[in-house]
Amino acid sequence: MNRPLKSTPGCPHVGWQWLRAIDLHDTPGSKPGKNKRCEFCKEEKTQFVHYLSHPDCKRTLAVGRKCAKILSGDLRVDATERYLRDRAQRKTEFIHHKDWRQSAQGNFWIEYQGHHIVVVSYHHGQFKLRIDGVPGKLFFKNAVAAMGKAFDVLEEKRIEQGR
């Protein structure tokens, strides 16, 4: 294992700027359940990665919550991670919601927060999404992936509407 950045001579321990945070489990192409080791301390393994920059460093640092708080002192660290955790929980609850039904044609559907959502099953084993009668353009390899995308679309609409 590489030596932690915190013990590298010349590496600043203060003055980092918090840029953003992501949920690795909700990032396209990532493997579910895969966590990342903090680049600063190499100890913290996290699902939620915070990105920091520093005027004296050429690279962007990917760290866990604890190091992000210490290095940047930014109040958005905790708030953003709390939002990402809550969002992940809501997405899981949506995908496993008890009101999902399956039609005779094999399509899954649900009435959710005033929206009619259908996960359309195609004969070649792929799925498409239809929200409020509007067909999606993307194919998904399974119904759960399509349900997850439906949640993402509804979440964006909710944020746009300020709810």
The pLDDT of 100-116, averaged and rounded, is 95
Paired residues of 112 in beta bridges: 115
Per-residue pLDDT of 16-56, as tens digits, reads: 999 999 999 887 666 666 788 999 999 888 999 999 999 99
E-assigned strand segments in 97-154: 101-102, 108-112, 115-121, 127-131, 134-135
- 44-58, 91-105, 124-138, 149-163: least confident range: 149-163
Structure tokens at 23: 């949920």
pLDDT reading at 2 higher than 70: no
pLDDT tens for residues 123-134? 788 999 999 999
The pTM for the full model equals 0.82
Q: Cα–Cα distance between 72 and 60 in angstroms, integer? A: 13
- Which of 97, 104, 100 minimizes the C-alpha distance to 116? 100
Residue 51's Cβ-side half-sphere holds a number of Cα atoms within 13 Å equal to 8
Whether the Cβ atoms of residue 86 and residue 79 lie closer than 8 Å to each other: no
